[in-house]
Amino acid sequence: MGDGHRKATLKEFCRSKMLALALRMILGAVFLFAGIDKILHPAAFAEVIYNYQILPDGFINLSAILLPWIETLIGLSLVSGIWIPGATLLSATLLSVFLGAILFNLARGLDVDCGCFMAADGAGSSTSILWYVARDGLLLLIALYLLMPALPLKRR
């Protein structure tokens, strides 16, 4: 089999419904796990948000209460297959915001806990902020991949 066959096979794999389903389940599980953990530990998550030093104090508790429920609903939607395009768009939007906040703090020299998972662990995390950038970047790429079928393509 020649190089052309390998390219065709890779192209078919990248467009396969099984790959899209697997990636949607992974992204949904990540959002579900992250959201539920934060719902169970709202005070710890509020502290994580505070440590980012981005939001005004008046928005910290509100964000710590609302954001986990939004993440959980996105996760449920992706896993159950209900309202996939909207949930995928929201996940890409949230991941862009999260990645932006992490990069903003990296540029300021602040090595804060992501708060993505294990919100109860708070600032005791020893995970590198560069790991958060890589992980959120990969999750954003997954969300963008899942959005591709929903985008109108110009036919040649």
Amino acid 130: pLDDT: 86
Amino acid 118: pLDDT: 64
The mean pLDDT value of the chain amounts to: 86
Taking only the tens place, the pLDDT of each residue in 43-80 is: 999 999 999 999 999 999 999 999 999 999 999 999 99
13 pLDDT exceeds 80?
Answer: no
Mean pLDDT along residues 96-118: 87
Cβ-proximal residues to 54 (8 Å cutoff; 6+ apart), any chain: 101, 104, 105
Question: How many other CB atoms are found less than 10 A from the CB of residue 34?
Answer: 25
By percentage, how much of the chain surpasses pLDDT 70?
Answer: 81
